[in-house]
């Protein structure tokens, strides 16, 4: 840790033991940091304590970065780097800056020429692709699909068409309490032969990752209410 760096620190995806998904090296890095840019201070403090029970939480400085943060103030979060001190970025779950507001601070760090170091850890997007059986050479993550019923139906059909025309795996997510509606919409608007993978509570004790055709899924959807899910669709054979 000779050169001041912006460390991107992955977090568990759920109630999973730290040593099951977070490398010990990450805890070593954390023990040397005094400044953290976080999505939620309370959960970040809890995560840091889980990684290193001896860490002095009250001696740390936290900067909150979420959808409510004034974007003009983000540059100030990197003042420690300018002074020669490394900074850590912590998301609510998974990898910072991937489908996460941490991307904004990483962009500024790159513009200013600071060293950015991504640490190893769980990524629901990559782990879902790994376990789906779909194309891992070409895949695209689209975040949240439109809420409007007509717009959503149109978007699902567009992504399905792309999976066939480009031989590309399509991934997206939904607010957990709307998972069942999303799954139902996929079954309604996709070809019966199209494949759907539902990846739920990845890396957790009740992990569920199953791939079936749209036809096979009908009437057999799992309980998904309020459980983090990644939905993947891919061309049928």
How far apart are the two ends of the chain, measured CA to CA in Å?
50
The model's pLDDT over 10-43, given as tens digits with 9 standing for 90+, comes to 999 998 899 999 999 999 999 999 999 998 999 9
pLDDT of 77 higher than 80: yes
Name the residue range of residue 75's domain.
5-118
Same domain, 90 and 134: no
Q: What's the pLDDT band for 73 if we cut at 50, 70, 90?
A: confident
Question: Which of residues 118, 143, 165 is at a domain's end?
Answer: 118
β partners of residue 37: 63, 89
CB 235 within 8 Å of CB 46 = no
Same domain, 105 and 205: no
The model's pLDDT over 110-144, given as tens digits with 9 standing for 90+, comes to 999 999 999 999 999 999 999 999 999 999 999 99
* Domains: count for the chain: 2
Q: What is the CATH number of the domain that holds 95?
A: 3.40.1010.10
Q: What's the pLDDT band for 1 if we cut at 50, 70, 90?
A: low
What pTM was computed for the model? 0.91
Question: Which of residues 118, 144, 159 is at a domain's end?
Answer: 118
Q: What is the CATH number of the domain that holds 162?
A: 3.30.950.10
Same domain, 222 and 133: yes
* Chain length of the chain: 237
pLDDT of 162 higher than 90: yes
Q: Where are the beta strands (DSSP E) in 65-144?
A: 87-90, 115-118, 139-144
pLDDT of 69 higher than 90: no
The model's pLDDT over 164-213, given as tens digits with 9 standing for 90+, comes to 999 999 999 999 899 999 999 999 999 999 999 999 999 999 999 999 99
């Amino acid at each position: 840790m000779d050169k001041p760096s912006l460390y991107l620190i992955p977090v568990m995806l759920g109630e999973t033991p730290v040593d099951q998904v977070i490398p010990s090296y990450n805890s070593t890095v954390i023990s040397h940091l005094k400044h953290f840019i976080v999505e939620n201070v309370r959960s970040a403090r809890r995560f840091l304590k889980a990684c290193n029970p001896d860490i002095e939480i009250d001696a740390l400085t936290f900067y909150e970065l979420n959808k409510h943060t004034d974007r003009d103030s983000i540059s100030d979060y990197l003042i420690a780097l300018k002074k020669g001190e490394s900074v850590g970025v912590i998301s609510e779950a998974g990898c910072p800056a991937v489908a996460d507001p941490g991307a904004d601070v990483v962009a500024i760090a790159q513009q200013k020429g600071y060293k950015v170091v991504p640490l190893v850890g769980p990524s629901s997007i990559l782990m879902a692709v790994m376990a789906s059986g779909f194309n891992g050479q070409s895949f695209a993550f689209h975040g949240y699909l439109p809420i409007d019923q007509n717009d959503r139906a149109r978007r699902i059909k567009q992504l399905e068409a792309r999976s066939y025309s480009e031989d590309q795996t399509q991934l997206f997510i939904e607010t957990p309490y709307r998972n069942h509606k999303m799954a139902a919409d996929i079954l309604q608007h996709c070809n019966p032969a199209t494949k759907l993978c539902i990846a739920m509570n990845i890396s957790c004790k009740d992990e569920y990752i199953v791939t079936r055709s749209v036809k096979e899924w009908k009437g057999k959807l799992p309980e998904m209410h309020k459980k983090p899910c990644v939905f993947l669709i891919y061309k049928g054979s």
